[in-house]
Amino acid sequence: MKVLHSKILGDGSPLLILHGFLGMSDNWKTLGNQFAEAGFQVHLIDQRNHGKSFQSNDFDYELLSRDLHYYMAHYHIQKGILLGHSMGGKTVMQFACSYPEKVEKLIVADIAPKYYPPHHQEIINGLLSLNFEEIKSRTEADKRLSEHLTNFGIRQFLLKNLYWIEKGKLDFRFNLEVLKDRMEEIGENIQALDTFDGDTLFLRGDNSEYILKNDFDSIKKHFPKATIDTVSNAGHWLHAENPKEFFVKVLTFLNR
């Protein structure tokens, strides 16, 4: 097996942070530094087919969970605090249910233990439309992408993945070819009988529809000790849209 790429900040209790679909560890750098200053050893992790981690045709939550288990073994982490957003939230839910003895506390950001139908097709189509034989700058990439995606914030989030693979040649760090074919797996739920009995916090954005009131029973079924809280003035990217409130709510949970 290969070890996931990560950036490790600070010293203290291990706090492992997993990004969402088409994201990467760098999305969490500012909050990661804050958690490190608060006394945690923060591991900002790139999941497979994302960021600087390895690429693979195989992609489901059981594999992503195993990747994380191997990562913890590699760094001799006996037990850690896990925080995952969206797709990363599904990974840490699966991990906590599969390896409960490895989890100190669990934080899930704006995703519920349920199946989500594929709903990123507009983003995928926009990304597939970019021809890096023709596009020679980030500005030009943004201009082309804006023809498909009008939301500036989402475009900036996606374009953070651009890098120069060689002089004059741009590409994305995420493995778009595999991810576009794995939309069903990305929406998949954890197993029906999976449970984790440890301390758990679910945070949802008040403008997001990813965690609805009628999901609360399902959350409690899988995670009986779960607290469900809301971050104000935030949608699905709650950690980026209201980072101050997100940080305070997570830190309060970790220190209780």
Domain boundaries, the chain: 6-115+188-255, 121-180
Q: Is 188 among the residues known to form the active site?
A: no
Longest dimension (CA), the chain: 53
Token pair, residue 141, equals 């990439």
Report which of 90, 101, 28 is spatially closest to residue 59, judged by C-alpha positions: 90
Instruction: Write b or e for each residue in 104-131: b if 16 or more Cβ atoms lie within 10 A of its Cβ, otherwise e.
Output: ebbbbbbbbbbebeeebeebbebbeebe
- So what's the pLDDT on residue 167? 87
- Region for residue 229 given its phi and psi (left: phi exceeds 0; alpha: psi -120 to 50; beta: otherwise): beta
d(CA 23, CA 85): 10
| Beta sheet of 13-18, edge-to-edge order | 6-9, 40-45, 13-18, 80-85, 103-109, 200-205, 226-231
Weakly modelled stretches of the chain, pLDDT under 70: none
Q: Is 104 among the residues known to form the active site?
A: no
- Choosing from 37, 140, 177, 184, the catalytic residue is 177
Q: Is 177 among the residues known to form the active site?
A: yes
- Choosing from 236, 239, 241, 245, the catalytic residue is 236
Question: 42: helix, coil or strand?
Answer: strand
Token pair, residue 129, equals 């439309």
- So what's the pLDDT on residue 193? 86
- Choosing from 86, 98, 208, 239, the catalytic residue is 86
d(CA 10, CA 32): 9
d(CA 47, CA 25): 8
- So what's the pLDDT on residue 153? 83
Residue type, 113: P
Distance of CA 176 to the CA centre of its chain: 16
Q: Which fold has domain 6-115+188-255?
A: Rossmann fold (3.40.50)
